[in-house]
Amino acid sequence: MLRDVRGSHHWAGPLQSFGHEVKLIPPQYIKPYVKRGKNDAADAEALYEALSRPTMRFVPVKTAKQH
């Protein structure tokens, strides 16, 4: 879930076209917040924890031309 960066950028475009605000967080910023084994629930909890931090930095979404 957290590793496919190209996939994240690919899906960000269509989601933005539907009016959603897309924020991409690099996996290395999420890893310190994972408290237990690798599964979807642990990943989701770590994402929520990281997103709630006021100093969290995000990656700009790449366009198809930038790929």
What are phi and psi for residue 6, nearest 5 degrees?
A: -60, -40
Tokens representing residue 49 in the block: 């924890």
Q: What percent of the chain has pLDDT over 90?
A: 30
Q: Rounded to whole angstroms, how far apart are CA atoms 20 and 42?
A: 24
Give me the pLDDT at residue 6, please. Answer: 66
Whether pTM > 0.75 for this model: the answer is: no
